[in-house]
Amino acid sequence: MIASACFTTLLFLLLSQDASGAPTASPTVVGRSMPIRRLSPSSQNLTLVAQQAKDQRDILGVKYGGQLLQQRGTGYNLYHTFADRTCFNSYYGTIAIGTPPVSYDVILDTGSSDLWLTSSICGPGCGTSPTYDPAKSSSFQNLSTPFEISYGSGAVAGYVAEETVQMAGFEVAKQGFGVVNALSSAFNTNPVSGIMGLAWSPLSSTQQTPFWQTLASGGSWDSALFGVQLTRYGNVSNAAQNEPGGVIDLGYTNSSLYTGSIEYHNLVGTPQYWEINMNTLTVQGKSIDIAGISTAIIDTGTTNIAGPASAVASIYAQIPGSQAGTGQLDGYYTYPCSTTVNVQFNFGGNTWSMSPADFTHSQVSTTECLGAFFIASFGSGGPSWVIGDAFLKNVYSVFKYSPASVGFAALSETAISQNGIKAAVPSPTIGAVTAATNTGAASSASSGAVSSGPLSTLLCFWLASTSIAFLFW
Ligand SMILES: *[C@@H]1O[C@H](CO)[C@@H](O)[C@H](O)[C@H]1NC(C)=O
Ligand SMILES: *[C@@H]1O[C@H](CO)[C@@H](O)[C@H](O)[C@H]1NC(C)=O
Ligand SMILES: *[C@@H]1O[C@H](CO)[C@@H](O)[C@H](O)[C@H]1NC(C)=O
Ligand SMILES: *[C@@H]1O[C@H](CO)[C@@H](O)[C@H](O)[C@H]1NC(C)=O
């Protein structure tokens, strides 16, 4: 409905602007990319890894706990991502928000659907990252819908507002998002100030249409999809805290980054998560039984790979010397680091191999490593698997609006050569206009690199978001 409203408006604008009366050409072909940066945990001792491993399990259980709709209006996804960030590697990019625009670093999360930012009145719990100040923006509009959520040891609270948001040269006016006023636990999130959720609107806790979906449904992109390439540092012992993390291509796929064709798989059911069906999973050449437990969410915001207990046990059964973890490592397995573990996924087309480097989450003793696969049960209605970055680093992945699908393609030599190169961290690309960089303490955010945005397409976004606001409020 939104899509067709916007499309009609766009057509109308194009036709009315065409003095010759001849059929107008299709809308301006647009696609833009933004570098992704990768954040590593600051230290990796066993105590910390174990604590973080437990957190990852607890949080995923909450995020995908089979009560998806009940989670609307909550801040669980926010907590998930911040905690995940503290635990493990995160891939993040830069957005600009407000008038005048100010830039912020946000986690790019295909496993959730809200944009969240910590606000300037948030207490110490929000850490040292730059925060959003509504008083400094003329485009701030308070929707005054409060949200609050308690979790194990703390709480998240704030309200929903609308703002002008830009990412990679695209702009959406009146983008609804969550302004976080309180995080009771101290999360060390610097330089990240929030999350950009890249899944579908039915999941949105703030009940807003996600930024990407407004753009994709508005017909303003060359292709209604986005592509993601993530770099690997798994076997580089001393990767810096910030490294080049790959790229997100909005509105097109960059054929320099992959070879062959993109293999698309339609989403399972009504689009909420990027959830597809897995056909086969093999470990050391042996097929794992996934009959009846084959749905998988493709989640850039999760570091590892979660699956049902029976299947995860059979995965490690293929690895002599592997052992189920206990205590904080409950649900995880350790295995001899000397074993090269080959895992292959098949979603109904090609077989995609995961690098043995990505099977190793971390080394936990002189001989033992923690594996990337862990047990999580999401209950009925939840997915069976959550496939995170450990796999996604091995492919160019594509998230397509229509037909709603996830695609994978083989990485090109160009893409592979960007793994672990320890190059300079890329400058953020922000939006259509120069944005001030809101630097927090020790923030590595660089000055706002600028790319120009096409005004014609922005108009449609404005109209699209107006209709969205109308439909919702
Ligand atoms: C592990 O790291 C944590 C957090 O940095 C620190 O508090 C703890 O003392 C470290 N433990 C060891 C054994 O080094
Ligand atoms: C926005 O509305 C919420 C809920 O009414 C309120 O708590 C908050 O202070 C408002 N924010 C601003 C900046 O006015
Ligand atoms: C580490 O990664 C590089 C680049 O991806 C690769 O060439 C090398 O073989 C890897 N080394 C090990 C021990 O896996
Ligand atoms: C595609 O990727 C290559 C390799 O990273 C890069 O040099 C090029 O600028 C990208 N092209 C576009 C259109 O983004």
Ligand nearest to the CA of 246: 4
pLDDT digits (tens, 9 = 90+) for 137-174: 999 999 999 877 554 445 668 899 999 999 998 999 99
- Nearest CA to 300 out of 399, 405, 233 is that of 399
Residue 268 lies in a domain: yes
Residue 247 lies in a domain: yes
Ligand nearest to the CA of 163: 2
For residue 239, how far is its CA from the centre of ligand 3 (angstroms)? 13
Residues 236 and 348 in one domain: yes
pLDDT of 54: 74
Total structural domains within the chain:
2
Residue nearest to atom 11 of ligand 4 (CA): 254
For residue 144, how far is its CA from the centre of ligand 2 (angstroms)? 6
pLDDT, averaged per 10 consecutive residues of the chain (473 residues), comes to: 36 33 44 85 69 72 50 43 50 93 91 89 80 96 83 69 93 94 66 88 89 91 95 70 88 96 96 96 98 95 91 98 92 96 96 93 89 86 89 97 97 93 70 49 29 25 24 21
The CATH number of residue 297's host domain is 2.40.70.10
Residue 211 lies in a domain: no
CB of 156 sitting under 6 A from ligand 3: no
Ligand nearest to the CA of 52: 1
Q: Which of 143, 144, 162 to mutate to test the pocket of ligand 2 (most atoms within 8 A of CB)?
A: 144
Residues 324 and 467 in one domain: no
Residue 152 lies in a domain: no
Residues 231 and 365 in one domain: yes
pLDDT of 72: 37
Q: What is the pTM of this model?
A: 0.82
Residues 249 and 350 in one domain: yes
Residue 358 lies in a domain: yes
Residue 109 lies in a domain: no
Classify 266 as helix, strand or coil. Answer: strand
Residues 325 and 472 in one domain: no
pLDDT of 259: 97
pLDDT digits (tens, 9 = 90+) for 354-391: 999 999 988 888 999 999 999 988 777 778 999 999 99
pLDDT of 205: 80
Q: Active site includes 114?
A: no
Residues 285 and 389 in one domain: yes
Residues 241 and 382 in one domain: yes
Q: Of these residues, 84, 114, 299, 358, which one is catalytic?
A: 299
Q: What is the CA radius of gyration of the chain?
A: 21
Q: Quick one: CA dihedral 319, 323, 324, 325, positive or negative?
A: negative
For residue 467, how far is its CA from the centre of ligand 2 (angstroms)? 24
Residue 272 sits in which domain range?
A: 225-416
Residues 378 and 233 in one domain: yes
Q: Which atom of ligand 2 is nearest to the CA of 146?
A: 4
Residues 461 and 348 in one domain: no
Residues 366 and 310 in one domain: yes
Residues 6 or more apart in contact with residue 291 via CB below 8 angstroms: none
The alpha carbon of 157 is separated from its chain's Cα centroid by a whole number of angstroms, namely 22
Residues 359 and 309 in one domain: yes
Residue 290 lies in a domain: yes
Q: Of these residues, 84, 105, 109, 249, which one is catalytic?
A: 109
For residue 114, how far is its CA from the centre of ligand 1 (angstroms)? 33
Name every protein residue with a CB atom under 6 angstroms from any ligand 2 atom.
134, 142, 144, 146, 159
For residue 417, how far is its CA from the centre of ligand 3 (angstroms)? 11
User: CA 129 to CA 132: how far, in whole Å?
Assistant: 10
Q: Active site includes 109?
A: yes
Classify 380 as helix, strand or coil. Answer: coil
**CA dihedral angle for residue 241, residue 428, residue 118, residue 444, rounded to 10 degrees:** 40
Q: Which atom of ligand 4 is nearest to the CA of 247?
A: 5
Residues 374 and 302 in one domain: yes
Residue 463 lies in a domain: yes
Ramachandran category for residue 442: left, alpha or beta (phi over 0 → left; psi -120 to 50 → alpha): left
